[in-house]
Amino acid sequence: MSMMMKFDIIQALQLVSYCFKCDNIKLPRTHHCKECNKCILRMDHHCPWVNNCVGLKNHRYFCQFNFYALLCMIQCTLFISYDLFVNDKLVLQELTKNQQFILTICDVTCFSLVLVMGFLLGFHIYHTAQNITTVEYHINEIKANNPFRKPRIIDNFKEVFGPEIKYWFLPLRNVEKSAFPRTDLFEV
């Protein structure tokens, strides 16, 4: 009678392994990016907009970029909507029909971007609160039993955004370097 061993994905993610594509040792939570052709520590995803992988050391900046871009789009939507719907007598009298149409298209586009970017930011904030990456989110075993989640949600956020909350919204490097593991061999 042969015993068949069950593969445990959660245990495999927590162990040091080997990447045959990079010909290098992989730390836990490291994934190989086929676009960059290298292993990324705590890889979230490869972002075509920034042409780089979002991983351990730049996930914070990616979330900050989304946050500030969302604020910018909200501001544009509010200003254009105010001119179109609240202050319409002054603005619409000075504009031709084509200009009014273009202004309306700009308002609809900005509002659509607010929705899309708000969903993207919410998606990443949810993942940060759960202490998982987008790659790990697609592994069913982690959804059921997440070994990376800390007891307090604030500790999950500190792992991505750094130990000091007052710097979370500023695109500055953390003063405390010990928050990140040593990554001499890996792209982060």
C-alpha count within 13 angstroms, C-beta hemisphere, residue 114: 14
Give the Cα separation of 58 and 97 in Å (integer): 45
- Can 76 be counted among the known catalytic residues? no
Catalytic residue, from 22, 47, 76, 106: name it.
Answer: 47
Q: What is the total residue count of the chain?
A: 188
DSSP 8-state symbol, 37: T
Phi, psi of 78 (to 5 degrees): -65, -45
Backbone angles phi, psi at 138, to 5 degrees: -85, 5
90: phi then psi, degrees, rounded to nearest 5: -75, -45
Dihedrals φ, ψ of 29, to 5°? Answer: 70, 20
Task: Tell me the catalytic residues.
Answer: 47
